[in-house]
Amino acid sequence: MEERQGKNLRYGFTTGTAATAAALAAVRWLLGRPCRTVTVELPEGRRLPLPVAGVHSLEKGNGEGAEAWVIKDGGDDPDVTSGLAIVASVQLLDEERIEIRGGEGVGVVTKKGLPVPVGEPAINPGPRAMLVRNLAAELGPGRGAVVTVSVPEGRAVAARTYNPRLGVEGGISILGTRGIVVPMSEEALVATIFTELDVLAASGRTACCLVPGNYGEATARKLGVPAEALVKTSNFLGYSLEKLSHMGEEGKGGRIDHLLLVGQVGKLLKVAGGSLHTSSRYSDGRLETLASCAVLAGASREEVAAILEANTADEAVNALLEKPWAAETLDRVGRRIVAVLQRSCKTLRCIGVVLFILPDRIVHTSGEVAHLLATLRQNVSSEPPPEEPDGRVPCAGETAAKKTTKPADDARRPCATETDENTEEETKG
């Protein structure tokens, strides 16, 4: 795809989008409407035309089938799946049902803690929903299909990803929450973050909400944070805090001194451990940080060992939520994150942290979250926080966590931090 970030970097599309395009091409072949290009409706409503690399008929059991393939293009992002053929074979059904299966080169989940259950093909919920929605629209009422997604070179490429460590065996994962891949130029990402913070300050805001990526944004929006107050930091929280600490110097521009940080627990455990560049290439220590907080909260040797042996931070936190020392453990994590933020940006007057596990279950809040949410909704007030003991917002199982209001459409232009790579990074923690 030819859309570019700035002057140089070309956007790409995800493996989930490629699989959807291939499935659409196979369906059209079976319906007598062969085509060289298909248009995929992406999760946020945008329509993306993609070329079809090939399609042919198949014998599928007792019925006719077709197989099509699309070449994955990650744009100018350093993406190991770029150039792979993403294949979809389709058999039509005389009932209104769409079944998604994994074939050769698509990994199988073998450990807990991922968005897909153990034993299922590693096709994430976002791509599954995109496949079902696009195919249902193409097939019309009364018809369905069985779709098998495969990646012939997937097993070989998977060895160059984090899949083996995460417990995805036999191939790659089919990923993508937005459907497009925005190139990950560090310089462009940081420049975009700085620009967005400058724009917020210039508009008169003194509060902002920082989120690492797409899941954090969705959770913040459900809490009522307005879109114009959100800034995606990707893995560059440290640069963001440095920018905030220098805003307003020498009378230049406004100052943002109220900060709400909303992030997936695996990502923010790195911050609790003192890491401000949260890419898995440069930092980890998630489970070790959680284990140290659990020890201080009263966890036994065996319970700490279970934390350290968990596959993901989400799995570890899910398991400890039933323990009597869970609340104190998460409170210690939250206080450590607040302390790291304050130490890194001494100009901040009000800090709040929201921790969630995927997809958006809030498990803990720290700091002045309630005051910050009110401030963000009111276009920012500089008044001091109310004298309430904890300023907490409802956690998982309470009213706020059950809110299902659909966020308003985001009319902003796609920016450098809006990338499916960030989402994958969040999933890995």
Residues 246 and 329 in one domain: yes
172 and 57 housed in the same domain: yes
Same domain, 195 and 109: no
Please give the radius of gyration of the chain, using alpha carbons only, rounded to the nearest integer. Answer: 23
Q: Which residues contact 352 (CB under 8 A, 6 or more apart)?
A: 259, 260, 261, 365, 366, 367, 368, 369, 371, 372, 373, 391
Q: Say if residue 40 is in the same domain as residue 158.
A: yes
- Low-confidence stretches of the chain (pLDDT beneath 50): 4-7, 380-429
Residues 167 and 312 in one domain: no
Chain segment 234-277, per-residue pLDDT in tens = 899 999 999 999 987 755 568 899 999 999 999 999 999 999 99
Number of domains in the chain: 2
Domain match, 203 and 177 both: no
pLDDT for 160 equals 85
User: Which stretches of 345-398 are DSSP H helices?
Assistant: 369-377
- Are residue 17 and residue 105 in the same domain, yes or no? yes
Q: What are phi and psi of 180, to 5 degrees?
A: -120, 160
CATH of the domain at 66: 3.30.2110.10
Whole-angstrom CA distances from 268 to 39, 183, 192, 340 are: 37, 23, 21, 11
State residue 236 phi and psi, 5-degree precision: -105, 50
Q: How far apart are CA 49 and CA 33, in angstroms?
A: 16
Considering 163, 181, 199, which residue would you say is the last residue of a domain? Answer: 181
DSSP string, 167-216: TEESSB-B--SSSEE----HHHHHHHHHHHHHHHHHTT--EEEEESSHHH
Q: What is the pLDDT of residue 427?
A: 38
Cα 389 from Cα 304, distance rounded (Å): 30
Structural domain harbouring 116: 4-181
88 and 32 in a common domain = yes
User: 270 and 241, same structural domain?
Assistant: yes
User: How confident is the model at residue 281, as a pLDDT?
Assistant: 77
Q: Are residues 170 and 243 in the same domain?
A: no
Sorted by sequence, the CB contacts under 8 Å of residue 195 that are 6+ apart come out as none
Same-domain status, 177 and 192: no
Answer yes or no: do 294 and 323 share one domain.
yes
- Extract long-range pairs of 275-279: CB within 8 Å, 24+ residues apart: 276/237, 276/238, 276/241, 276/340, 276/344, 277/235, 277/236, 277/237, 277/238, 278/212, 278/235, 278/237, 278/425, 279/235, 279/425
Cβ 391 vs Cβ 371: under 8 Å: yes
Cβ atoms of residues 319 and 330 within 8 Å: no
Per residue in 59-109, pLDDT (tens digit) is: 755 567 999 999 999 888 777 899 999 999 999 999 999 999 999 999 999
Q: Which of 157, 181, 205 is the last residue of a domain?
A: 181
The last residue of one of the domains, among 124, 151, 181, is 181
Q: How far is CA 246 from CA 186, 241, 346, in A?
A: 20, 9, 10
